[in-house]
Copies of this chain bind each other. A is one copy, B any other.
Amino acid sequence: MKEKCGVVGVSLKNGGTDQAALITYYALYALQHRGQESTGIATYDDKIYIDKGMGLVSDVFNKVRLKELKGSMGIGHVRYSTEGASKIENSQPLLIGYKNGAIAIAHNGHLVNYRELRAELEAEGRIFITDSDTEVIAHLLVKELLVSDFIEAIRSLMQRIIGSYSLTLLFDGMVVAVRDPLGIKPLCIGKMDGGYIISSESAAIDTVGGTLLRDVCPGELVILKDGQIESHRICRSQNTAHCFFEFTYFARPDSIVDGLLVYDVRRRIGEILVEEHDLNADIVCPVPDSGVTFAIGYSIRSGIRYIEGLMKNRYIGRTFIMPAQEMREIAVRLKLNAIRANVAGKRVALIDDSIVRGTTSKRIVDIVRSAGAKEIHMRIGCPPVISPCYFGIDMATRAELIAAHKSVEGIALVVGADSLGYVSIDGLVKSIGIPKENLCLGCITGKYPIEIPGEECIRKQLRLAQF
């Protein structure tokens, strides 16, 4: 599973400072886990400066390149994407020229009605240069800007686009942030010395020495200008649909997402896993790194000793080429090696964050079993994934999702675990602490907050704000 993106926006008080690029850079660094394929920064200082590249933030940018990005305002983006479209043209921010100047857009999310909107725009004779839905957003926004002021244009845009979107924009000497009415993707605001910062996650605000103020509300438009902040509640829906996967997998444990510390959620899930599945085990082992926090919670509640049974190699290259088909097993051991003495002869509670296709879990169980574990009891911090994500997570097709086709017992058999326990949907919701009706649970319930052709929908009512 891969998240599509992370976004940043920075506005510092006027006064000749050219630090927006640097702050944006640091913030992107802290969001690197949200996308490792490409990155970009755009800044504003009378005109828009932009620089993008393939690879990690630390590989793309350096002192010289950051220095070229002048100004006290900036936005940034880190991106992951599926292989086919992995090219520099699709990297963001997307910079477009239009009637009154230029706009730079950074987007995290996915528009459900991208195809329809693109077809509609194409029917008007418009052309597309990238493969991304961000270009659709740019077209629609610019169309509205011809006939309305900026805020009205955003309002109209939000009435047209359906799906998940956390946006930061450079527009007309302002940094602008927009979050979709359901609040699917996270977005928050921080105060920092001399200005404000918008970020997908609060860990980036911490990193640049700022203080988390609050989340951008679902349906809210935030404008940063001259170190001031201005808010417009454009759109209001009865319920939100926060992506629960941010809590169980994507967001950093040290981020506060929609008011909740991710670390706490994961720890609580670990505790609930104890309650939901009876177990006699000798030790609790995490699958590193993503299982660690769940395992700590599991250990605290169960009183079973927490110890590492698998060691992760910290130097796995991003571009690792598998040199020999027949040596696939070695390749797994390159990433994870069992600590034989810790697991041998033990009944192991092995805690992981999720099971998607089951293939990785099978290999991990094999490794622990080969190291001499007496029993292996997998406990999973996310309910069975039975349905795809339509809002920007690159999961797998329904056919590939093991839980779409097999019972828990069947999955345990496939992965080779002595027992297998998922956290229940109710346990998950309780751990998060957000009412069920305000979460997007589409991939674990098959019921989506937005109409998706061929899928069941729990409609979330959209209501326009009245100002």
Contact = CB atoms under 8 A, between A and B. Distances in A.
Interface of A: 19, 22, 25-26, 29-30, 32-33, 36, 56-59, 62-63, 66, 88-89, 94-99, 118-119, 122-130, 135, 138-139, 142-143, 145-146, 203, 206-209, 252-254, 261, 263-264, 267, 289, 292-293, 296, 299-300, 305-308, 311, 313-321, 323-324, 327, 329-330, 333-334, 337-342
Contacts of A119: 99
Question: What are the nearest 8 A-B pairs in CB distance?
Answer: A58-B317, A32-B315, A254-B311, A99-B122, A97-B128, A125-B143, A96-B127, A254-B339
A324 B206 CA distance: 18
A442 to B, nearest CB: 28
Contacts of A66: 323
Contacts of A253: 308, 311, 339
Given A25-B323, A263-B341, A311-B252, A129 B129 contact: yes
- How many monomers of this chain does the complex have? 4
A30, A126, A338, A340 — which one has the most chain B CB atoms within 10 A of its CB?
A: A126
A333 B207 contact: yes
Contacts of A334: 26, 29-30, 207
A263 B207 contact: no
A308 B330 contact: no
19 contacts: A26-B330, A58-B315, A63-B321, A88-B88, A96-B128, A97-B118, A97-B128, A129-B130, A206-B337, A207-B330, A207-B337, A252-B311, A254-B339, A261-B341, A263-B341, A289-B314, A292-B308, A293-B308, A296-B306
A130 B96 CA distance: 8
